[in-house]
């Protein structure tokens, strides 16, 4: 990212984005479609015999568990072919006729079903003898059948579990509430029988997760748990850490808040701020102490809070740093040496519940590297808290400290530098880091991904991080230097350091101002997904069109400031739509208002940038299919009643059939959609339109309410034509769409 690319065209507070509220007339009648049932491979007698053999092997593995725990069914894995992952090919008829019970999803190609001795025998007969067209098609979708047994249940070896000390027990949620409740009771009975103390963690979705202290559990008790068929997973409780800071000696307190200015208040959940950091105290609006010395030294929390309160002023008014200063709800909830995940979740939930006025929360922490197939436990808990309290978490992508060191461009080494938990939260705004200052000895140039900044994608190719910001540069021996970021220490002096921990509060401060600027509409409830969409869109407007590999490091780029997330430059015209979508219906707005200055001989000559964000239903029991609804975006030309999309979605590219399937049925279900296209030669069209439709996962129940989508569309001149925004407003007025200015107030920039 070159320096000149960082400088977005200047947004003007006379050019507000326009909000287009939802209208029932935007929804069209349902469309019916879908193909017939077909065999993906020929189901011969030999095919049936081989599939039956895999069932026999799986049943043998489950039989001892089912015999020991008759009140909890065993779980079979129906391993699907790559081309059978689509929900239209799921073997649901086979499952229903066998009397099996859906138990969720494992990896993207794994359909899980609960079974007992009777239903296993029924499944065996269907595999061997049933000849209906639907059953044959269902059988052709299954590559093999496996057992969800002890080996799959234990996510770490017994010695590794013992070494960690605390473990979490995650139960299956079956598609029958009584079966799930019976399974919970059966686990409680096992815990009581072996005198295993436990703590039940109530979940927003599904049965509770139980925390156990393995120091108080015998080998016999642990063996009993590992054999319990109703457990989806037994895994070590993750531990979360803040980035360590390196002290320095540059004096310079944080300047106090100007009088008469109503700065937003954001939550900082960290190691707390030091009372001795006197210049920071005027920015501390309130406190919530959960951790006290000696468990905290206040170093990391003071640094993070100082960047929320004044990153720009304590870093020499650097051009890339936003002037959006916020007050802090100081929540001391993280130990300096790191904390256990369940302890942090309990504290964070209590803090959010007790501060309903705080809508944006900074989490500059991280644990272990995420996996490929499932979203981390902490990420799932953040998603649940976000939904329950309607708050936005801004989360660090995490720091890579391993060897070899990473430069830019990245070499061929296979580094363990993927995101850390909870950066994979689908509701959160995840922040990576770039260097912001060129300096002799710095490991990367300004604008390049910082060597420590963990990269995407998230599980099943979900695009992450969302954005990046200045996190401080690293010098050749992994030390601070002139390119590092300045922050405040407990002694009220500035020092240099680096980490995604410090890029995150800069983004948090922008999000806090953005949320505040949207409040006050009579008919608009500000929502986390809306603020997230605007933040991502602002980053895209200020950044080049990254390729798939670059996006793993840069995300969507740097959000310049709150003003550019709400106001256009003169050469750009932006609308934000509020859309409610339901399966089977199309949401469409047409004809789309095109600025006259972007039309040349009937052709649209412009850059089109589209960002959509929404909060689909989630299900931790669904594994790789955690996100349960997808929204498709189309911007293009109407041909009769059909739209011809002209702006493709940006995403990952698969290099193998299995990887392509993961992207198609995982990454493309991401609740953030990115579309971008330049038309230097122009593209013809008499009537332009924007359209959304939604699709549910296999076996997902009907939606309780529509999916609420924040859809942002910018049409930008390719040659800096300053008439675009004013022309767009005139075209919008002529459309007679219901509309209003999006921002209620201009963000505070002092």
pLDDT in tens, 299-343: 999 999 999 999 999 999 999 999 999 999 999 999 999 999 999
Q: Are 652 and 548 in contact (CB under 8 A)?
A: yes
Tell me the pLDDT tens digit for each residue of 43-63.
Answer: 999 999 999 999 999 999 999
pLDDT at position 248: 42
What average pLDDT does this structure show over 520-535?
Answer: 95
Q: Check residue 246 and give its pLDDT.
A: 47
Sequence-distant (6+) residues with CB within 8 A of 609 are: 537, 540, 541, 675, 676, 713, 714, 716
pLDDT of res. 748: 74
Which entry of 149, 270, 383, 727 is annotated as an active-site residue?
270
Q: Where are the domains of the chain?
A: 45-153, 158-238, 241-554, 567-741
Return d(Cα 253, Cα 494) in angstroms, integer. Answer: 7
Q: And the tokens for 484?
A: 């590092």
Q: What are phi and psi of 622, to 5 degrees?
A: -90, 5
In this prediction, residue 245 carries a pLDDT of 38
Q: Is the pLDDT of residue 225 over 90?
A: yes
Predicted confidence band of residue 3 (pLDDT cuts 50, 70, 90): very low
Q: Are 688 and 592 in contact, with CB atoms under 8 Å apart?
A: yes
501 given a catalytic annotation: yes
Mean pLDDT across the stretch 22-47? 80
276: phi > 0 → left, psi -120 to 50 → alpha, else beta; which? Answer: alpha
Which listed residue (72, 279, 483, 501) is catalytic?
501
Alpha-carbon span 332 to 287, nearest angstrom: 8
Q: Is 270 a catalytic residue?
A: yes
Q: How confident is the model at residue 491 (pLDDT cuts 50, 70, 90)?
A: very high
Q: Sorting pLDDT into bands at 50, 70 and 90, what band is 406?
A: very high
Mean predicted lDDT score pLDDT of the chain = 93
Mind giving me the DSSP string for 624-676?
Answer: GG-B-EEEEEEEEEEETTEEEE-SPBP----SSHHHHHHHHHTGGG-SEEEEE
Output helix, strand, coil percentages for the chain, rounded to the nearest 5.
30, 25, 45
Q: Kindly state the average pLDDT of the residues 659-680.
A: 89
Would you say residue 244 has pLDDT above 60?
no
Q: Does domain 158-238 have CATH number 1.20.950.20?
A: no
Among 377-391, 499-513, 643-657, which is the least confidently predicted range?
643-657
Protein fold of 241-554: Rossmann fold (3.40.50)
Calculate mean pLDDT across residues 724-738: 97
State percent of the chain over pLDDT 70: 96
Told to judge if 726 belongs to the known catalytic residues of this protein, a careful annotator would answer no
Go through 495-508 and write b for each residue having 16 or more CB atoms within 10 A of its CB, e for each that does not. Answer: bbbbbbbbbbbbbb
pLDDT for res 8: 41
CA–CA distance, 153 with 505 (Å, rounded to integer): 38
- Could you tell me the pTM of the whole model? 0.94
Tell how many helices (H) and how many strands (E) occur in the chain. Answer: 17, 33
On the question of a cis peptide bond just before residue 635, with omega within 30 degrees of 0, the verdict is no
H or E element, residue 329: strand 327-332
The set of residues, in sequence order, having a beta carbon less than 8 Å from that of 228 and lying 6+ positions away, is: 65, 69, 72, 186, 187, 190
Give me the catalytic one of 300, 513, 537, 725.
Answer: 300
Query: Do residues 715 and 724 make contact, with C-beta atoms less than 8 angstroms apart?
Result: yes
Query: Looking at residue 384, what is its pLDDT?
Result: 98
Query: How far apart (Å, rounded) are the C-alpha atoms in residues 510 and 508?
Result: 5
What is the reported pLDDT for 105? 96
Model confidence band, residue 652 (pLDDT cutoffs 50, 70, 90): confident
Return the structure tokens found at 707: 């999916």
Q: Which two tokens stand for residue 216?
A: 């108080």
What confidence category does residue 477 fall into, taking pLDDT thresholds of 50, 70 and 90? Answer: confident
pLDDT surpassing 60 at residue 492: yes
Q: Which residues contact 645 (CB under 8 A, 6 or more apart)?
A: 634, 635, 636
**pLDDT at residue 472 above 70?**
yes
- Helices of type H across 273-375: 299-310, 341-354
Please give the share of the chain, as a percent, with pLDDT higher than 90.
87
């Amino acid at each position: 990212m070159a320096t000149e690319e960082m400088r977005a065209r200047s947004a003007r507070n006379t050019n507000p984005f326009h909000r287009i509220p939802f209208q029932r007339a935007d929804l069209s009648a349902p469309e019916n479609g879908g193909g017939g049932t077909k065999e993906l491979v020929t189901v011969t007698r030999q095919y049936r015999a081989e599939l039956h053999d895999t069932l026999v092997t799986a049943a043998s593995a489950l039989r001892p568990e089912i015999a020991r725990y008759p009140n909890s069914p065993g779980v079979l894995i129906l391993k699907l072919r790559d081309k059978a992952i689509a929900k239209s090919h799921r073997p649901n008829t086979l499952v229903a006729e066998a009397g099996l019970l859906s138990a969720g999803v494992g990896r993207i190609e794994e359909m899980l079903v609960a079974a007992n001795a009777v239903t296993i025998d029924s499944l065996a007969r269907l595999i061997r003898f049933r000849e209906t067209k639907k059953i044959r098609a269902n059988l052709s979708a299954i590559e093999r059948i496996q057992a969800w047994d002890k080996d799959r249940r234990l996510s770490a070896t017994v010695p590794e579990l013992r070494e960690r000390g605390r473990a979490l027990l995650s139960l299956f949620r079956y598609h029958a509430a009584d079966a799930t409740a019976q399974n919970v009771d059966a686990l409680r009975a096992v815990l009581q029988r072996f005198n295993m103390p436990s703590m039940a963690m109530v979940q927003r979705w599904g049965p509770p997760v139980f925390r156990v202290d393995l120091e108080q559990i015998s080998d016999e008790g642990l063996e009993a748990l590992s054999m319990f068929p109703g457990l989806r997973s037994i895994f070590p409780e993750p531990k979360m850490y803040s980035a360590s800071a390196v002290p320095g000696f540059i004096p310079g307190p944080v300047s106090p808040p100007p009088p008469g200015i109503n700065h937003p208040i954001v939550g900082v959940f960290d190691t707390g701020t030091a009372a001795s950091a006197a210049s920071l105290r005027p920015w501390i609006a309130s406190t919530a102490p959960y951790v006290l010395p000696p468990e905290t030294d206040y170093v990391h929390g003071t640094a993070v809070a100082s960047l929320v309160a004044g990153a720009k002023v304590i870093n020499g008014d650097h051009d890339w740093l936003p002037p959006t200063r916020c007050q802090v709800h100081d929540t001391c909830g993280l130990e300096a040496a790191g904390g256990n995940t369940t302890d942090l979740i309990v504290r964070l939930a209590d803090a959010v519940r007790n501060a309903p006025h705080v809508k944006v929360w900074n989490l500059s922490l991280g644990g272990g590297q995420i996996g490929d197939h499932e979203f981390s436990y902490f990420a799932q808990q953040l998603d649940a808290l976000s939904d329950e309290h309607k708050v936005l978490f801004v989360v660090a992508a995490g720091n890579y400290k391993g060897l070899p060191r990473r430069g830019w461009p990245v070499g061929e080494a296979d580094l363990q530098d993927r995101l850390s938990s909870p950066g994979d939260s689908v509701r959160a705004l995840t922040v990576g880091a770039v260097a912001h200052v060129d300096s002799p000895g710095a490991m990367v140039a300004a604008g390049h991904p910082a060597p420590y900044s963990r990269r995407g994608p998230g599980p099943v190719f979900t695009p992450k991080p969302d954005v990046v910001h200045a996190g401080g540069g690293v010098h050749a021996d992994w030390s601070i230097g002139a390119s590092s970021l300045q922050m405040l220490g407990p002694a009220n002096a500035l020092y240099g350091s680096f980490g995604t921990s410090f890029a995150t509060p800069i983004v948090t401060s922008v999000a806090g101002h953005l949320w505040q600027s949207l409040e006050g509409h009579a008919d608009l409830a500000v929502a986390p997904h809306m603020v997230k969409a605007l933040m991502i869109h602002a980053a895209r407007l200020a950044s080049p069109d990254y390729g798939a590999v670059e996006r793993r490091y840069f995300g969507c780029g740097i959000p310049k400031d709150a003003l550019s997330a709400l106001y256009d430059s003169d050469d750009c015209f932006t609308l934000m739509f509020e859309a409610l979508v339901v399966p089977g219906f199309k949401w469409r707005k047409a004809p789309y208002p095109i600025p006259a200055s972007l039309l040349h001989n009937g052709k649209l000559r412009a850059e089109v940038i589209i960002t959509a964000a929404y909060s689909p239903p989630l299900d931790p029991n669904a594994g790789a299919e955690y996100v349960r609804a997808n929204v498709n975006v189309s911007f293009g030309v109407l041909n009769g009643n059909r739209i011809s999309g002209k702006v493709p979605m940006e995403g990952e590219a698969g290099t193998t059939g299995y990887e392509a399937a993961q992207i198609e049925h995982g990454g493309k279900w991401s609740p953030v959609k990115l579309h971008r296209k330049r038309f230097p030669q122009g593209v013809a069209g008499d009537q332009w339109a924007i359209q959304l439709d939604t699709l549910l996962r296999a076996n997902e129940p009907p939606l309780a309410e529509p999916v609420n989508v924040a859809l942002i569309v910018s049409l930008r001149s390719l040659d800096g034509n300053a008439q675009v925004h004013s022309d767009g407003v005139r075209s919008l007025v002529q459309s007679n769409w219901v509309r209003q200015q999006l921002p209620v107030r201009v963000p505070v920039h002092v």
